[in-house]
Amino acid sequence: MFKFIKKADIILFAVLVIAGLTLSWLSVRDSGSGQEVVVTAGGQLYGTYDLSRDQEITIDQHGHINKITIKNGQVQMSYSDCKNQICINDGKISKTSQSIVCLPNKVMVEITGGEEELDGVSQ
């Protein structure tokens, strides 16, 4: 017939929500500042750049243009000729493992290096 929600169901739900929020907060808090910017275009490595050096990179491939700006330890896609402009709206990134992707032009910008936590240690 009708199934009633038991007290244990409510407690289990609350514990799962708290655990999920705690893990999300820890993953955001522990992201260290990156050291270099890795750019791939068309699935191939385009270049690796120092995040501490201000510069502008222009990628011109197959008639599509993307401009990447590195300034003050942050990187952003400053220009793209793609239609949806999602990569431009992603804004600036500066932490390890953050990325900006322009799918129509097949360009990816990712920050690497810096402090990363270990997933596990084996002996």
Q: What range defines the domain where residue 97 resides?
A: 36-112
Total tally of structural domains belonging to the chain: 1
For residue 107, the model assigns a pLDDT of: 94
Please state, in angstroms and rounded to a whole number, the distance separating the CA atoms of residues 78 and 91. Answer: 9
Please state, in angstroms and rounded to a whole number, the distance separating the CA atoms of residues 79 and 85. Answer: 9
28 within some domain: no
Q: Supply the CATH number for residue 69's domain.
A: 2.60.320.10
Angle at the Cα of 56 from the Cα atoms of 54 and 57, rounded to 5 degrees? 130
Helix, strand or coil, per DSSP, at residue 79: strand
14 within some domain: no
The pTM of the full predicted model, rounded to 2 decimals, is: 0.66
Amino acid at 69: T
For residue 86, the model assigns a pLDDT of: 92
pLDDT, averaged in runs of 10, over the chain (123 residues): 75 89 72 80 92 93 93 94 92 90 93 63 57
For residue 122, the model assigns a pLDDT of: 59
10 within some domain: no
